[in-house]
Amino acid sequence: MRPSELESLITEAPSGSERAPGLLPLAHVSSVGGFDSILASGKLVPRHCDLLQRSCVFLSYGAVHFRPASRQVIAQRPPPPELPIVFLFQPSLLSSVDRCYPFDTGALLSGRFGHDETGKEWRATFTPIDERCAVLVKDGHGPWSLVQRLYESNERYLDGNAVPRGSETGVLGELLRLLRADLRVAGIDQRQQTIECIASSELLLDAKLCWVGLPEGDLEADCYELLDRIDSSTRSAEVYAYPLRPRNLDPKALTALVAEHASAAIERLFRDRVKAWER
C-alpha cells in the first residue's frame, strides 16, 4: 500500500515540537450481546466492516466515544444486549495495530458528519479514504504522529482542540477544517476528533488489558473469571460495573456515564502520558 496523502505529510518535519507526545491507551467498545463470544475465546476477533470492506477490530486512541442505542432499554437480568462494554488497553497494544485514521471512519463514510459550510459533504472530501487519510503504524509513525501534527499535544487532543489551519492546504488543510468544525448540529460528539486505530488480527485479552467497564451483575464475576483464566497478571485490571437504574435506561445518559468513567480511568492510569511529550 502506497503512503496516503496524509501519511506523506505527517512524515515530514512537524510544525510544533520535535518530540512526540507520550503514547496513550487504546479503547475498544463491544456490547453485552457480543460478550459471550469474548468470554469463550478470551480475545477480540476481527469482524467484517461493509464500509471499509475488510475485517478488523476497531480501537480508539486515548478516548472512548461511541453512539448510544437508538431506543430506551429496560434494566433487566440478564442486561439488554445493546448495552456497552468497554475495554482499555496499555499503549503496548499499538504493536498489533495496522493503520489509523484521524477520525471515526464509520461516522464519516456513513455520512453522519454531514456537510461543510459550502454545502459539500465531508464524506466526499476525504474519500477514497485509504488514499487520502490512512496512516500505517510503522517506522516510528502512528496515532502519536497524528496527535503531534494535528494537535501538538495530548492535552489538546483529548480536549478536541486542533491547531489552527493557518496556511495548510490539501488534505491536511481540509482535515484541520473538519477537526475545528462544530458538528453538534449533526448530532456528533467528538468522533470527528477521535483517532481510530484498526487491527486486522485477533487481540488477546492479556496483561495489556488495564480497565473494563460493563453492566453490574453477573457479568462482573464473569469478567474476573475471564481475566484469571487468561493470565493471572491481568487480575490487576480495574473493573467498573455501571448501575442499571432506573428501570427505563436513557441510552445517552448511560453512554455519557460509561465514557466519563473511562476518561477518568485514562487520566488516573496515564496521567504522565497525557501531559508528557517524550515517549
DSSP codes of every residue in the chain: -PPPHHHHHHTS--SS-SSPPPP--EEEEEEHHHHHHHHHHSEE--EEETTTTEEEEEEEES----PPPSS-EE--SSPPTTSEEEEEE-GGGGGG--EEESS-HHHHHTTTT-B-TTS-BHHHHT-SHHHHT-EESBTTBSHHHHHHHHTSSHHHHHTT-PPP-TT--HHHHHHHHHHTS--GGGT--SGGGS-EEEESS-EE-STTEEEEEEESSHHHHHHHHHHHHH-GGGGGSEEEEE---SSEE-HHHHHHHHHHHHHHHHHHHSHHHHH----
* Within a domain: 279: no
* Within a domain: 141: yes
* Within a domain: 199: yes
Copy the grid coordinates of residue 148: 503531534
What separation, in Å, do the N-terminal and C-terminal C-alpha atoms of the chain show? Answer: 27
* Within a domain: 278: no
Q: Are 146 and 135 a contacting pair, CB within 8 Å?
A: yes
Cis peptide before 78 (omega within 30 of 0): yes
User: What is the reported pLDDT for 136?
Assistant: 93
- The structure's pTM equals 0.88
User: What is the reported pLDDT for 246?
Assistant: 67
Regions of the chain short of the pLDDT cut 70: 12-20, 66-77, 185-190, 231-235, 246-248, 251, 272-279
255 burial type by CB count under 10 A (0-12 exposed, 13-18 middle, 19+ buried)? buried
Measuring CA to CA, how many Å separate 120 from each of 106, 174, 183? 18, 12, 14
**Residue-number span of the structural domain to which 35 is assigned:** 5-273
Measuring CA to CA, how many Å separate 236 from each of 27, 64, 163, 206, 250? 17, 21, 37, 11, 31
What total of structural domains would you count in the chain? 1
* Within a domain: 34: yes
Number of Cβ within a 10 Å radius of residue 148: 23
